[in-house]
Amino acid sequence: MDITALLAQAANLMLTGMVGVFVFLSILIIAVKGLSRFAAPAEQTPPSSRRTKSKPTSEEQVPGEHLAAISAAISQYRNQHFQSEK
């Protein structure tokens, strides 16, 4: 078979193949979306259980003493690092 005819076949295969792969995986997307809709949702850990374990007052804010300790540690590290580089 001459190369031109083979090339035409290859081009045809390229087109058919890519269309085939996209169509198949697109159907799979729809199937997975359908699956997620009908399957039982994932068990979420109830938010209340987490709250009871942590401190009720300091959920969002870092306590001042922690902040002070952290910044002291950072400045100490920076000092040491700076000196060691010298």
Partner 1 sequence: MDGLFNLWSATGLANLTLPALAMIAVGCGLLYLAIAKGFEPLLLVPIGFGAILTNIPVAGLADPGGLLYYVYYIGIDSGVFPLLIFMGVGALTDFSALIANPRMLLLGAAAQFGIFATLFGAILLNYVPGFEFTLQDASAIAIIGGADGPTAIFLASRLSPELLGAIAVAAYSYMALVPIIQPPIMRLLTTEEERNITMPQLRAVSKQEKILFPLGVLTLTLLFLPAATPLVGMFCLGNLMKESGVVDRLSNSAQNEIINITTIFLGLAVGSKLAADQFLTVETIGILVLGAVAFSIGTASGVYMAKMMNRFAGDSPINPLVGAAGVSAVPMAARVVNKVGLESNPHNFLLMHAMGPNVAGVLGSAVAAGILLALVG
CA dist 30 and 22 (Å) reads 12
| Whole-angstrom Cα Rg for the chain | 31
Instruction: Write down the residue that tokens 């306590």 correspond to.
Output: 63
62 makes contact with partner 1 (CB under 8 A) = no
Contacts with partner 1 by CB under 8 A: the residue count is 32
29 makes contact with partner 1 (CB under 8 A) = yes
| Residue among 15 and 68 whose Cβ is closer to partner 1 | 15
67 makes contact with partner 1 (CB under 8 A) = no
CA dist 4 and 8 (Å) reads 6
| Residue among 17 and 63 whose Cβ is closer to partner 1 | 17
